Each structure stands twice: as structure tokens, then as C-alpha cells.
Structure 1
């Protein structure tokens, strides 16, 4: 059991977030930088509950670093002795690294000491370990990775699955739709999120047999199902939750990331190509900065592993401290909104209908 934790007091329930010290390219310094950012009144003001933070990892490494930063009394240290490497296979991490920060962190969530685990570590290992230790919610067969995507008019679209399940049945996709709808209700305040099924066309006759069956079954649910959507709709304002299998979702997500890097590279090249271009860039600097902030992937960092009987959020491995803070905020939102109970209730209602 962890030591008594520092609590940033506020009204409402206590939100207890445990972060993995050893996940990510720049860990543990990046994780510690992020902790300093979340231990502020500005961050706490986003949530109705009080905030408590812990860090799980190798004590001999972390204790001096926490003391050096002056946050040793504000963050609980949960000791672990091993680390899951980015090259470790999920099966090896699951069977051979039971005292790793991910293993210990997942057990702490399972046993009720912490409400959520946030890690920038090995995605496959995080999913495998979390699924075995936490299990899935009643009525959910497989957890899904959900990814938030920026959309027009300051909106956002939730896409799931983004890589956990390469092959899915219609039942799996319907469960993803339920979880995605609950997530957008709980964290974004949407009363009836519009759910779309990612397909190669909007017509009912298009798609695989699984997609056609799923579409027909979704139309009979109480979800706000709007039908098939295409890849061009992901950044639009006509859909809130996009459902797909993990193979399609991961390809789509990586394509978006590559496109964003290409556009950023091309824009930098053109804006520095001549004196006139540089002058134009200087005059439009404020607009360019707003654009950069709008499409900054760090703002949308933090992919919840929905369907687990416990809250786990995956941060991008290359995240900086600000991006990791976004992932912590995702976990806080899920706890604050009591997401697990919402999903369980919605699945039960769907079964009984």
C-alpha cells in the first residue's frame, strides 16, 4: 500500500492518479516535469474533486529526484523494481516482469489504492498487463484504445479502436460504440453523441459483411447512430464517435500523424523560402501560432483503454511534459465523471432492451 499521498483539496470526490515513472522516451525527467505542472491550482481547477498524485517506479532512482524538485511530500512513491522496455514483447512483459512499474501500477488500481494509471510505456505490454490484471467490465469482451482527433470549429472526434484489436466481430464494434458514446457524454458533456461506423462509403451496400451487420445492429440500438462515415468525416463536425476495428483505426491514426508532419515541414519550408515569404510569416505570426496550437498533437495526447475494469490511459511514448499533462487530465476526467459505472450501466441497459 502506498504512503499517504499529498492531496490538492477541492470539493467532490478524491481523484487519485498514479503515473508510470519509466514509460516514455524522456522518462523519468519528463514524467517528473509533468507532475510539477499538475501540482498547481490551475490544473486542479478543471475538476470537481480533489487531486492526489503518485508515481510508481524504482525507489532508489526516484526518491532523490523527488527530493531535489521539492515535491517528495506532495507525491506518493510506489516502489517497483523492474522496467518494461519499449522492445519487450507483451507476453514477456506479462510473464517475466511482474515487479515492473506497469505491473505494480495495474495491481494498485485493481486493489483500489489508486483510481487510474497513466503510462507512456510500451503500448502492447500496457494493454496485455492491464487486461489480465484488471479484467474487462461486465458485458465487454475486449478493451479498445480510444483516440481523440481535432475537428473543425474547435470540435473533436473520438475514434476507437485505434490499435488494440486488429480483427473484430459486430458485437465488439457495438461495444466500442457504447463505450465511445459514454466517454463523450461523460468527458465532453454531449447529451447524445453522434456515432458513425467507419467505412469505404456512406451507402449501406458498401463494406465487409461484418460492417454491414454491425451497421444494421447499431441502427436498432438507442445510440444516436448516424450510419456509415468515411475517412474524410474524421475532422468534420457531423460525427462525434467513429467506430472501427484496430487495424483500420491504427492505419488511419498513423496516416494523420504523417500528414501533420508533412504539412508542418512543407509550411516551414515555404515560409522561409524567400525574404517576401519570411516577411509574410512575420506578419501572420499570431495566426500561425494559433494554427500550430490547434493542431498540436500534444493537446490530444492520452488514449484511454476503454472497457477495462479500471482506468488506464496511454500517453504517446515521445510525449513531452505538457503532452503528458494532457494524458493525466484525460484520466482525471474519467474518474471525475465516474466513467466505469456509466459504461457498465449502458451495456446492461442495451442487453435488457
Structure 2
């Protein structure tokens, strides 16, 4: 298994990317990691860490796609950008998977223009994990790759999400929910009303509509929505979590008694906070691309990069992309 990593992508690149990659290379000897980027910056970091392992390679790329670059222009004009070079390696089958913490729009464009879509998929979907109180989490798609969607595209998201949770997380019969304003079948806008019967008839375990107030309770394993609604939901959850933890910290530091209470509650709070930590999940797959692409958080640390490699390794072991392609082509039951 050959996994290419955009070493220059992300707020803390290339330092944490290289560190995370080296940790992953040490952990899993059955993979080869290819670091793409400015070799003059990458090689010294590897030397400082003790030298290059046998299962790590460096491919030089002279350009970088910045966070504020316009995605389509950047991908088309910066042919030697680390992200574009990595995508080209996946397209040419020189690598089996790609990981980047860089510009999300540019990664989406790289997937579409450089790697290419799976035949039968209209639009790829970004599918991060949403934490839930049961600890299992929920795969939600699309959460921002496309702002709009058709009912047929929501159906494709549901199928791809089900396959991902089955192949990568080992869930035999993933429950699929449709994000909506109410649980009744005929609630919602024109999009959700049109999508509901398609999901009912699909070869998936569709459980009906799910309201956003319930998402953290883990009502389903896969949550389907258009990118506009999904991105608003995601940022609302992130914002609420940030406020909760900030308020708890303030309250626990208020006086001596609350500090003692904090010591008693610390283990439970730490577990709760960890469930909201993006580093534990590693990366969000960009499903629907004819190759395995994973998007890490822009502020990823070394642990997040290592966990992204873990995700890619599991997905490759379970032949995720081929499974999605086969399912979309022949419509056989999941």
C-alpha cells in the first residue's frame, strides 16, 4: 500500500505532517508513505527525527497551494504544487491513497480535475465524523464539498456512506438518516421530500428523518444532507462544543471548592472532550473520487496525520473505492 501525503498542506506544515508520517511509518511496516513537497524543508525534518525509514519516500514539489488561493485557478496553474503532484500520483496509480490538510476547495478540485470521479457519481461528498455520546460517532455527508444537491445525489451519498461505515468501521448494517426539520416523512423542503422515497427504496438501512438537535445522541451511523445545511450543522456543533468547554473551564477555576470538583470530574471530562477532538478521527474521506482521498483538518497535529494514515490503511485493506464503484454500477444490495 502506497499512501501519498501532501507535506505542505495545513497550518502547521511541513513539521507536524512529517512527524505524523514518521510515526505512522514506524507503526505500520506494511505501508509506504510518500511525502510530497519542498524537499529542502522535508529532508532536514526527517534527519532531525533520526533518519528516513525504509518505508518513507520524498518527492519534490516546488509550489504550494495556499489557504486563500482560488481552488480551480490554483489547481490549473500550479502544476507543480504538492497537492496537485500527489493527486496526479493517485491518478497514475503510483499511489493508492492521498492525504492532505490543505485548502479544502483545492483538494475537491484536485479530486475532480486530476484524479477523476467514480463513474455514476455526480458529485463527490466530504464525509467527516460527527461525535456522539455513545462514542461510536456518525459519518455525515455532504458537509461542504458542494453547497447544493439533488435528491439523486443524496441517494448516492447514502450509498457511499453506508459502504464506508461497513468497510472502514466494520458496521454490518449501517443506519442511514436524512437531516430534516422534523421526523415525519413529509416534512422538509422540496429536496428532502424528493429524497425520502428514493432512500426508502435504496439497498440501505434507511431509518427516516433525523433532526439536528438529536445528532449528538447518535441516532444513525450515516447522516445524509446537502453541503449547505450540513456545513451549518457542523459549525453549530463545533461552536457549541467550544462554548461548553470554555464555560466549564471558567466555572471550575472560580474558587477553591470548584477546583477540587474539577479534579474529581477531570477523567470524565477528558473522555468527553476527546470524543469531540478531530485528531482522534484523523481525516474526512472525499467519497465519490476514483481514488482514496482524505482531508485532514487544517490545524491538524502529528496525531491527526498519523490517524489519517490509519484510516487510509483500513480503507485500502477493505477495497473501499472498488466497493463503491461496484455498488454504484450494478445496484446490488449492500
Shared fold (TM-score, shorter chain, > 0.5)? yes
Q: Secondary structure at the residue paired with 1:54?
A: strand
The match for 1:180 is 161
The match for 2:3 is 17
Given that residues 145 and 163 in structure 1 are in contact (C-alpha distance below 8 angstroms), is that contact kept between their aligned partners in structure 2?
yes
**TM-score normalized by structure 2?**
0.95
The 5 Å alignment of 1:261-272 reads 261-272=242-253
Q: Which runs of 5+ in 2 are unaligned?
A: none
Specify which of 40, 47, 50 is matched with residue 30 of structure 2: 50
Given that residues 149 and 300 in structure 1 are in contact (C-alpha distance below 8 angstroms), is that contact kept between their aligned partners in structure 2?
no
In structure 2, the CA distance between the partners of 1:226 and 1:267, relative to structure 1 (3 Å rule), is same
* Structure-2 separation of matches of 1:71 and 1:142: 41
Shift of 1:237: 3.5
**TM-score normalized by structure 1?**
0.90
* Structure-1 separation of matches of 2:123 and 2:268: 43
Q: Secondary structure at the residue paired with 2:149?
A: coil
The match for 1:4 is none
Specify which of 28, 42, 48 is matched with residue 68 of structure 1: 48
The match for 2:270 is 289
The match for 1:124 is 105
Identify the range of structure 1 (61-70 vs 328-337) with the bigger mean alpha-carbon deviation.
61-70
Identify the range of structure 1 (32-41 vs 161-170) with the bigger mean alpha-carbon deviation.
32-41
Shift of 1:300: 2.2
Given that residues 25 and 53 in structure 2 are in contact (C-alpha distance below 8 angstroms), is that contact kept between their aligned partners in structure 1?
no
The match for 1:7 is none
* Structure-1 separation of matches of 2:246 and 2:266: 16
Shift of 1:156: 1.3
The match for 2:287 is 306
* Structure-1 separation of matches of 2:152 and 2:272: 39
| Number of residue pairs matched by the alignment | 333
Shift of 1:62: 1.7
Shift of 1:351: 7.8
The 5 Å alignment of 1:1-353 reads 15-41=1-27, 44=28, 50-74=30-54, 75-350=56-331
Given that residues 203 and 333 in structure 2 are in contact (C-alpha distance below 8 angstroms), is that contact kept between their aligned partners in structure 1?
no
Deviations 1:263-321 (A, max 9, x none): 11001000000110001112222222222223323212301000000111001111111
Structure 1: 4+ residue segments shifted above 6 A: none
Deviations 1:323-342 (A, max 9, x none): 22222222222111100111
Deviations 1:134-181 (A, max 9, x none): 111121111000011121222111000010111111111100000000
* Structure-2 separation of matches of 1:68 and 1:144: 38
The match for 1:8 is none
* Structure-2 separation of matches of 1:244 and 1:256: 15
Q: Which runs of 5+ in 1 are unaligned?
A: 1-14
Shift of 1:246: 0.5
* Structure-1 separation of matches of 2:144 and 2:311: 19
RMSD: 1.7
Shift of 1:73: 4.1
Given that residues 21 and 305 in structure 2 are in contact (C-alpha distance below 8 angstroms), is that contact kept between their aligned partners in structure 1?
no
* Structure-1 separation of matches of 2:333 and 2:184: 30
* Structure-2 separation of matches of 1:104 and 1:24: 16
